[in-house]
Amino acid sequence: MASRNNSKIAEQTTEERIKEAARKVFQKKGFAATRTRDIAEEAGINLALLNYYFRSKEKLFEIIMLETLFGFMQNLAFIMNDDKSTLQTKVELIASGYIDFIIRNPNVPLFMLSEMRANSGGLLKKLPIKQLVSNSAFLKQHRKAVEEGKIAEPHPLHFLMNLLGLIVFPFIGKPMLQGISGVSDNQFKKIDDAKEEVYPGLD
């Protein structure tokens, strides 16, 4: 907080440069396969400096991981808590928002999923996410839609699981599915663009 850099011209502080490099390399290769030397090189600084700022690889990783998780989830929480929007709109916003997000950060989903297992998800406890969702507008609207028979999944988590799976899986499964089917990158993109209406038939 105290050291936030607000200058418009991106005169990045060294600390920021290192974090940005770490984000890039960690998200691409995962914790175990990443060498601190790679991060230093990517940041254009020396290996010693990395430890000067962040003390250890683990510490740096935890920071990146928490920021990544938070960035991924705050979007979700924001949409879910909007009293004004309908459930249908929420679903569309979540879908389009995350599709945009993943296109900008293609490595994030698999990174999070992989590293959470390795870390047994303990880091999630450090994030104030649960409360944000626990009595959201989304939950009430979902319950109502279930009562009216508009939604097949009776449990909100079940509903959320299916929705996220439909959004995320095409991206993380891409190499495998391409391998099976033999379609080109261009073809794949067209197919995925067609995933506009992720959850049709809500209203």
Tokens at 142, concatenated? 């979902």
SS3 197: coil
Residue located via tokens 């303990």:
122
For residue 74, the minimal CB distance to its own copies (Å) is: 12
Side chain identity at residue 58, one-letter code = E
Considering the rule CB under 8 A, would residue 103 count as an interface residue with its own copies? Answer: no
Question: In this structure, what token pair is assigned to residue 157?
Answer: 């988590």
Q: Of the two residues 45 and 183, which places its CB atom closer to its own copies in the complex?
A: 183
Q: For residue 136, what are its two tokens?
A: 């959201």
| Interacting residues of 146 by C-beta distance below 8 A, sequence separation 6+ | 153, 154
**From the list 73, 93, 137, 146, which residue makes contact with its own copies (rule: CB under 8 A)?**
73
Select the residue interacting with its own copies from 157, 184, 185, 203 (CB under 8 A). 157
Pick from 12, 28, 29, 51 the residue near DNA by CB under 7 A.
51
**Out of its own copies, DNA, none, which partner does residue 117 contact, by CB within 5 to 8 A per kind?**
its own copies
**62, two tokens:** 């935890």
Is 63 an interacting residue with respect to DNA (CB under 7 A)? Answer: no
Cβ partners under 8 Å of residue 49, min gap 6: 14, 18, 40
**Contact residues: its own copies, CB under 8 A:** 29-33, 73, 76, 107, 110, 112-114, 116-118, 120-121, 124-125, 127, 129-130, 133-134, 152-158, 160-162, 164-166, 168-170, 172-173, 175-183, 188, 191-192, 194-195, 200
